[in-house]
Every structure is written in structure tokens, then in C-alpha cells.
Amino acid sequence: MMKVLLIRPKNFYNIVGNAPISLLSLASTLIKSDHQVKIVDLMNNPNYDVVKDIKDDYDFIGISCWTSEIDHTIKLCKLIRGNSNSKIVLGGIHPTLFPEQTANSDLVDHVIVGEGEHSFVRLCNGETNQQVLRQQIPLNLDELPLPSYDLIDMEQYINQIDSDGRNIRAIEYHSSRGCPSECAFCINVVLNNRRYRAISARKVVEDVSYLVKKYNLSFVHFRDDNFFVNKRRVIEICNGLNDLNIRWFAECRVDYFRQGHVDDELLGLCKRSGLYEITFGIESGSQRILDIMKKGITPKQSIHAVQQAKKHGIKLRCSFMIGLPNEKKEDIMQTINLYNQITKIHPGVSAAIGSFRPYPKCEISDNLIASGLFTEPTSFEQWADIKLIELYSKPSYVKTPWQINPKLIEKICYYSSIASGTSLLQYLNQNRILKPRQVVGSFFVMLARVRMRLRLFHLPMDMLLYNKMFELFKKLRAKFKWYR
């Protein structure tokens, strides 16, 4: 039996509140193979003392690492190296994208590429001592045990607030992995080779029913990249959720909203089973840009999907992107037009326009590197550069060399996010300072809405004032520890 400590690092922008599903899934498989596991989630509770005192209590210390969290991952590895002989195992998105580069670091003993459940067990069982381990065949998700939610204090994660500002008891659950689509800005194409795998409807319903009872839940976030791929599976899940009296959230492509797939019948069923809110990646109002993105949708499909969500009383979140390479001003204006149409059709929508970020190894990012507009670090440690961390994880706007009009893009990102109350809501809600209705009715939100409607972005005094207030709020929040 091996003793394993699994850690999720803190992140730069103090995003909290989501259970560390990847670690919970690794843990349940390790426990099933008779290994002993403890989880420390520094993202939710950034107390490094737990790590400072570990000495040689563990055989393996596994750290989950996203590109946006490398600075904190390095801090952790150094702390561990300084007072323990435990083997350091890195897994997750970043090591999966750059296995050899990560393994070359003196701070790392093993790198696990892709799904880590079986590879980590092989390492702990002593079946291999390879420095870089790869999951060769995609795992059968039905054979994996339920993530070990009981290893962490779920009360820290469950108490959340829905988009109407009501208290809910919510959990994150992944009912599938991967996505069959081919968007050129998305990690899925790289990670899963467009292979979509799902847990059977029967097991999803079994798992969710168990979790709802155990934690007295009122809400489930299906965190799948693309929940609605298989209509029959969705129908079976809805039928199974009917008796649970919960509400749920999931993500869907707009082109699925057609007869025979996500149609009126399915939407009615979903709504009756508790579908509360849905997310669409609408991305752009310009067909030219949508084609460059290989998004495989049209603005007309987006409008139809939004109308359908409105018709069935389903709350909506929509994401848009501007600031892509080769984007022209007219493309940006088409995106604002689509944004305005959508916010008119579904006035309660939470819709924000963000700036494009070149996530490593995606097609558009690799094209930028080939054209000399972007360079990537050549060592694991170099990724801890603050400029890169901001590029990948700063909320709303980031400036990049390929943007045609950075000032305009910044203003659009700002006003669209304020108009739907997203960033304000996130912070003020999280800290239980204001109620959503008060936020939405605020001066800044009203003005941002008018500006978006009229496409009026000159003299952004309100933006400058807001940013100053936001900075001050964040400082006060840190000083007086206004965390949830």
C-alpha cells in the first residue's frame, strides 16, 4: 500500500468554489487498488502550512497542473523538495500538453499524460518506474468508481448561489469526457482526438441520485464539455432525474437545436426534469471568423437556439470571443450586433464578450507561433511568467499583438461583461455583499447596456471609475479576508 497526497494548487485570481473533480477521480481509483489517499485543495483554501509540514509522510505527491497555475505549482514543488523525499508526480492539462518539457524539470519525478487514473495506480503498484507515463487507450468511464467526494469537506463547495441569487446546494459532476467537434481554439481536439466518451445514463442517474441524497443537494452542474451529444442518453438521464426534484445546468452546441436532436420535445423533457440554465459558445457574429475557428455553427443557428431557450423558460449564458488573428473591425461589429440581438431575445441572458487567448497546442495558437506572432517558453519553469499567467487566466480582457484595435476590444469586453452583470455579480455575490437585483440595477450596468446597444464606446469614464473601484474592492477584500 502506498501513501499518496494529491494537491490542487492555488490559482492566480483566487477562483474558488469548484470541487477538484480530477483529484477526486484519481483518488477513488487509487483507493480501489488499496492505496491510501489524502487531498489538499489549495485552490479553495490557500494554506501552505499543510504542505510545509509533510516531511516523509507520503510515497507520492501528485499535483494537478493547468498552464495558468504553473507559478503556484512550482512554489509547491520547491516546498516539497525542501522538506521531503516523496516522489513528485505531475498530471493534468499542462503536463499532458508538454510531457517531456515538464519531466525535464528537476522539480518533477514523474509526469502522467492524459487520464491519470490507471497510470497512477500502475506507478503506485510498482508496475513501472517510467518518468513519463501515458494512458494509451481511453478509459471506459463506466468502469471507473464514483469520484471520492467524501475525501474532502464537501460543505465548503456545496453552498452556492444560482443566477437568480438564490442559495442552492450544488455539486459538480462529469458525465462524459471529450467532444466530437473540432473548434480550432479548443483543447479538446488536442486532448481527446475528438473522441467523445460518456458514462451510461443508468450510471449517471445512479451516481446523481446517491449524491443528491448523501449531500442533500438541490442542484447539479454537469461540467461536461458537451452534455447533449447523444439524444437518447439525455432522454434517459432526464427520465431518471425526474423524481429527484433538483435543478441542473449543462453546456450545449447551438447547432444541436434542430428537429430530431435538441428539439421542443427534448427541451420540454429537460425542463420538466429540472434544467435551469444552459451555456452556449456563440463565439462570433461573423461567419468568416466562425469558419476560421472551425466552430461549425452559423449566427442564425445561435439566434434559433437562444429563442428556443427563451421559449422553454431556460436561463442562459453565452460566451463570445473577439481579438482573434485576422479579425477585422467589421467582424467585431457583427459580433456586437449578434450580442445585441441575443440580449433582446432573452433579456436575462448572461452574455460576455471576452478576448481570444491562445491556449497551448490549439490549432490557432500553433498558427500564431508559425507566423512569429507568439512564442512559447522552452522550459517548465519559464511558463511561470506573469504575462503568460495573465494571458491565460485574467478575467475579461487581455492585450495581444495580433489585435487590430486593442483599445476598442478592451472596451467591448468591459462593457459586455458589465452589461450582463457577470463580473460584478461574481464578486459581490460570492462575498454576499449585494443581491443580484441590486447589481443589475446599478448605474454601471445601465450605462454599459446603453453603450452596447448604441455601440458607443467613446470617453469611457465610467469604465475607468469602475476599474479603480474594483481594484480598491479587491484590496479591501484581501485585507479583511472577505472570502466566502
Q: Which residues bind ligand SF4 (CB under 6 A)?
A: 179, 181, 183, 186, 188-189, 225-226, 253, 281
Q: How far is the CB of 29 from ligand SF4 (least distance, A)?
A: 24
Given a contact cutoff of 8 angstroms between Cβ atoms, the answer to whether 359 and 326 are in contact is no
Among 64, 84, 400, 422, binds ligand B12 (CB under 6 A): 64
CA atoms within 13 A on the CB side of 90: 33
Could you give the angle at which helices 70-83 and 386-393 cross, rounded to 10 degrees?
A: 130
Distance (Å, rounded) from C-alpha 204 to C-alpha 239? Answer: 12
116 belongs to the binding site for ligand B12 (CB under 6 A) = yes
* Nearest distance in Å: CB 391, ligand B12: 9
Kindly tell me which of 227 and 383 has the beta carbon lying closer to ligand SF4: 227
Strand order in the sheet with 159-161: 159-161, 167-173, 219-222, 247-252, 275-283, 315-322, 350-355
Closest contact distance (angstroms) between CB of 202 and ligand B12 is 20
Q: What is the DSSP letter of 116?
A: -
Q: How many CB atoms lie within 10 A of CB 244?
A: 19
User: What does the alpha-carbon distance between residue 6 and residue 88 come to, in Å, rounded to a whole number?
Assistant: 10
Total residue count of the chain as it appears in this document:
484
**Is 112 one of the binding residues for ligand B12 (CB under 6 A)?**
yes
Give the Cβ contact number of residue 307 at 10 Å: 14
For residues 18-57, which are near ligand B12 according to CB under 6 A? 18, 20-22, 25-26
Which of these ranges, 203-211, 379-387, 389-397, 411-419, lies near ligand B12 under the rule CB under 6 A?
389-397
Residue 50 binds which one of ligand B12, ligand SF4, none, with CB within 5 to 8 A depending on kind?
none
Q: Which residue is nearest to ligand B12 (CB)?
A: 91
Give the CA angle between residues 23, 279, 345 to the nearest 5°: 165
Q: Which is nearer to ligand B12, 84 or 340 (CB)?
A: 84
Question: Residue 297: CB partners within 8 Å, gap ≥ 6?
Answer: 253, 254, 255, 282, 283, 290
Among 35, 72, 87, 94, binds ligand B12 (CB under 6 A): 94
CA distance 107 to 382: 13
Q: Toward ligand SF4, which CB reaches closer, 239 or 298?
A: 298
The item of ligand B12, ligand SF4, none sharing an interface with residue 226, based on CB under 5 to 8 Å by kind, is: ligand SF4
- Cell readout for 214 is 448523501
Q: Which does 117 bind (CB under 5 to 8 A by kind): ligand B12, ligand SF4, none?
A: ligand B12
Shortest separation between residue 363's beta carbon and ligand SF4, angstroms: 11
- If one asks whether residue 15 binds ligand B12 (CB under 6 A), the answer comes out as yes
Contacting residues toward ligand B12, per CB under 6 A: 11, 15, 18, 20-22, 25-26, 62-64, 66-69, 89, 91-94, 96, 112, 115-117, 120, 174, 186-188, 223, 225, 359-360, 392-393, 395
